A = this chain, B = another copy of it.
Amino acid sequence: MGRTSINVYKFQKEDYIMSDKRNTWQKKVIYSVIKELKTHPTVQSLIDELEKRGYKIGKSTVYRVLSDAVDEGIVMNVYSGDKMEHYDGNTEKHYHIRCKVCDRIYDSELPYQDSITRMGVETDSGFVILSHNLEFIGICPNCKDSLKSL
């Protein structure tokens, strides 16, 4: 098994939504790391991060654990400019900023605005609007700097 020396995510009562789920070290480590990272990783970049930390977890396990975690509301999917699935351990409603240049996703400082959902009233169409996603597009500090030096 992987290193045992890091502080691993402690399972919460809420995590036991399905009665017959088992509490494996792989799941603990994945939960722990995804909750800690602010980088909205893909499965592959999460695996790289896990290996960097000394954990070897099979790719299909990572896919399965994350997919279940999404179903249970423990993590969120994020869609990005690339075609890969990204994951966000922060399930609070919040916004992202995508860097046009490097396609990395960052968290926005702007708090969630319920008022925006209300802007979406569709008078004619009979649509029910429940929520919204807002993504800012910009250039991140890193890329801004590298552009300057061209």
* A131→B110 CA distance, assembly (Å): 14
Residue-wise, chain A 113-148 has the 8 Å CB interface mask toward B (1 for contact) of 100110110111111111111111111110010000
Chain B residue at smallest Cβ distance from A126: B141
Determine which of B79, B120, B136 lies in contact with A132 in the assembled complex, contact meaning CB atoms within 8 Å: B136
* A106→B135 CA distance, assembly (Å): 18
* A135→B140 CA distance, assembly (Å): 22
Number of identical monomers bound together in the oligomeric complex: 2
Q: A126-B141, A132-B136 are in contact. List 11 more A-B contacts (CB 8 A).
A: A79-B79, A83-B83, A97-B120, A109-B122, A109-B125, A117-B136, A126-B144, A128-B144, A129-B137, A130-B139, A133-B134
By secondary structure, the A interface counts as mixed
Q: Which residues of chain B are within 8 angstroms of A79 by Cβ–Cβ distance?
A: 79
* A144→B120 CA distance, assembly (Å): 17
